Amino acid sequence: MTHDRIIQLIAVFVLAVSAAASGRILPVILEKSDENVLRYTNVSVEGAPPLVAVGTMIGALRGLIVDVLWMKVNIMKEKGLYYEVMADSELITKLQPRFAQVWAFHGHNMAYNISVATHTEHERWEWVKKGIRLVRNEGIKANPNDMILYKELAFWLSHKIEGTADDAHLYYKTEFCREWHFLLGEPPPDQEMRIAWIKRIADAPDTLAEAEQRIPGTKALVELLERELSPYADGDFKLDKRFLTFFAQWRALGDQYGVARVLGYDEQIRQRQPIFRAFEQIIADPKYNEPGALLLAYLRKKVLKEEYNMDPQIMYELTRDLGPIDWRHPMAHSLYWAWLGSERGSGRIRNDDVYKALNTDRLVAQAMQGLARNGRISFDAFSNELPGRFPEPRWIDTIDKTFQRLYIKYHDAQGGGGESFIGFIENFLSFEVRECYRAGETERAKKLYARLDSLFGRGAMVPNNKYNRPLDVFIREETRGHYEDQPHLAPSEVAASLRYAYRMGVGKDNKQVWEDAVKFAADVTEYFKTNEWNAYVNKFGRGRMSELIGAVTDSVRIAFEQVMTDPTLEIVERATIWSKIDQYHPTLRLQVYDAIQPHLARQFEQSQLRARFTLDQLFPRPAGLEQFREQLRLRQLEEEQRRKEQESRDQIERAG
């Protein structure tokens, strides 16, 4: 045997021994890497996205290429060449999908830089959605444990959509609400019912085969839908987000009688969408009630996972453990992604970058605060008006507990991390004291005021008399001058004052209370809409700040609708207000009757009062309803005609 052959045999033997040894120690290495979060994902067997494979094919050379592209991208950004940045940013994400910073840069460029360079609100919204979708659906999938991506996504939702800095923020709020209204439907007002509602989606089957096993007949329903609806989908029928939108619109036609049928929208929409007639023939059949409900939950779960990269189980757990989340609100999604980022990314946080976790948890607290301030939504799916948004006080206790948890968590963090939450909870409790007081919930206001005093007044580490003032004096002095630097105060205080007007004025037969509260709401509205800080009209012809509050007549109507459907108020109290309101505002019952009926019916079904009364006995139909509906329809036709005439004039002017 030659010398070379001996060397070759020895090399083969060493290779075999090395392979065997590496095979034995590989599980230990993977286990340790999982325990210490040393990899990009926490699951060793998790398959990487296809673009990861693309990025690894060219080996070490890609690092040099990415460095050059990254420098080029930053130079172009400084020059304002935002569209030109797109191609190179996308290439970097393909070469280095684990480079989380470029995903955030790319998404921010779309949502902030490119969006504001467009000419219409719709175009802006499309670019904002593209930026969010890029990070949510691709960046986070490639970097599931990178906290910064979650933090950036949560911030965009709270700042770009929920904030007021963008000229088109009112449009964003409306379209965001509409999108999620069609996807998930309107959540039940009662918290226990809401928990059960989102749990049905979380527990839905993952496949149609599993759905058929649970409820026989589901497969037959799917086949019937495919057969009957394919002609309306150009032969390409799919159980997807588009199907859910059509279904939600059809359902809304039945639920929102006053808005759709009275104004003639139902027939107009049916003419434009003949698919709705097929829904009426199929879904309305009682034998499809159970299979249809299961199929709907299955589809919602499927779309949430595949098109939004959201886990319904986590959505359910947050709703169950934290509070009444309405997923039509941007801050609900900011809460979801900030919470998820804090959970998934915590293993990668070291002492020198604890600020990343701190900033992410701040967004968790801010999202809860936003939901407390205006997280109760009233929305008409067939209107372009800003959704009605009212305070949701059921978040107060959750926020107090979250403050304590986060304060302890960051108490010893560098830079006094825990101290950053003290200002947050002090401002929040101060806001809630004012809001409860305006709403006539004096006892709760006193309790929160005492909590403020115990934490930051006489009970503070350095005692002081900041909160040792009569409650009414504190309210008056704290509110004065704050509408400029805290614009959210004005809509909230209008809503709280009107709630007080209905409960303590109408409900208690005190006309002076009613008049004073309504006057306060009118004065705040007038001040907010006309003062110099809010006078700015954007390029789309809308008051960027002033339109956060509608006309006081609209606020009075929406507040009454909110009170009538508020699950935290006893039905008897609401029925009392309903029976007396004509003495204070003769047309309010006519304005809200059709809108509140579906909600009242669902709540009444869960009430013990149904054993002694009917819903019509507690909330009788107002006199003159048919005439009011006809007047509403005629006004809508006139408004539609004016709009068309204005569009024609605009076209002539542009042509000239």
* Residues 327-346, mean pLDDT to the nearest whole number: 94
Residues 548 and 565 reside in one and the same domain: yes
Which of 425, 454, 489 is a domain's end point? 489
Range of the domain at 429: 328-334+347-489
Provide the mean pLDDT of the chain. 81
Among 135-139, 364-368, 384-388, 488-492, the least confident range: 488-492
Residues 460 and 404 reside in one and the same domain: yes
Residues 650 and 527 reside in one and the same domain: no
Let me know if residue 445 belongs to a domain: yes
Residues 469 and 570 reside in one and the same domain: no
Residue 521 binned pLDDT confidence (cut-offs 50, 70, 90): confident
Residues 226 and 306 reside in one and the same domain: yes
Q: According to the model, what pLDDT value does residue 131 have?
A: 92
Residues 84 and 166 reside in one and the same domain: yes
Q: Which residue is listed with tokens 């359902």?
A: 251
pLDDT digits (tens, 9 = 90+) for 97-112: 777 888 888 888 889 9
Let me know if residue 114 belongs to a domain: yes
Cα–Cα nearest to 484, from 527, 432, 538: 527
Query: Would you say residue 22 has pLDDT above 70?
Result: no
C-alpha span between 282 and 288 (Å, rounded):
8
Q: According to the model, what pLDDT value does residue 161 have?
A: 95
Let me know if residue 12 belongs to a domain: no
Domain count, the chain: 5
Q: According to the model, what pLDDT value does residue 366 have?
A: 93
Q: Using the 8-state DSSP alphabet, how is residue 543 labeled?
A: B
Let me know if residue 45 belongs to a domain: no
Residues 83 and 150 reside in one and the same domain: yes
In terms of phi and psi (left: phi > 0; alpha: psi -120 to 50; beta: otherwise), the region of 334 is alpha
* Residues 178-193, mean pLDDT to the nearest whole number: 89
pLDDT digits (tens, 9 = 90+) for 623-637: 999 999 888 878 777
Q: What is the DSSP string of 570-607?
A: -HHHHHHHHHHGGGT-TTHHHHHHHHHHHHHHHHHHTS
C-alpha span between 652 and 656 (Å, rounded):
6
Residues 144 and 42: beta-carbon distance below 8 Å: yes
Among 179-188, 237-246, 343-352, 542-551, the least confident range: 542-551
Which of 121, 146, 171 is a domain's end point? 171
* Residues 222-241, mean pLDDT to the nearest whole number: 78
What residues have CB less than 8 Å from 552, skipping those under 6 apart? 494, 518, 521, 522, 525, 526
pLDDT digits (tens, 9 = 90+) for 204-222: 999 999 999 999 999 988 8
Residues 316 and 202: beta-carbon distance below 8 Å: yes
Residue 40 binned pLDDT confidence (cut-offs 50, 70, 90): very low
Let me know if residue 341 belongs to a domain: no
Let me know if residue 152 belongs to a domain: yes
Q: What is the DSSP string of 44-65?
A: TTPPPPHHHHHHHHTTTHHHHH
By CB atoms closer than 10 A (0-12, 13-18, 19+), residue 460 is middle
Q: Which amino acid is at 2?
A: T
**Residue 65 is part of a domain; what is its CATH number?**
1.25.40
Residues 279 and 300 reside in one and the same domain: yes
C-alpha span between 447 and 503 (Å, rounded):
20
Residue 486 binned pLDDT confidence (cut-offs 50, 70, 90): low
Among 35-49, 284-298, 496-510, the least confident range: 35-49
C-alpha span between 453 and 451 (Å, rounded):
5
Q: According to the model, what pLDDT value does residue 488 have?
A: 64
C-alpha span between 499 and 577 (Å, rounded):
11
Residues 353 and 275 reside in one and the same domain: no
Residues 594 and 650 reside in one and the same domain: no
Let me know if residue 165 belongs to a domain: yes
Among 163-177, 541-555, 584-598, the least confident range: 541-555
Query: Would you say residue 265 has pLDDT above 60?
Result: no
Residues 595 and 639 reside in one and the same domain: no
How many Å is the Cα radius of gyration of the chain? 29
Let me know if residue 532 belongs to a domain: yes
Residues 447 and 526 reside in one and the same domain: no
Cα–Cα nearest to 496, from 564, 569, 434: 434
Query: Would you say residue 652 has pLDDT above 80?
Result: no
pLDDT digits (tens, 9 = 90+) for 375-412: 988 887 777 778 888 888 889 889 988 988 888 888 77
C-alpha span between 302 and 629 (Å, rounded):
39
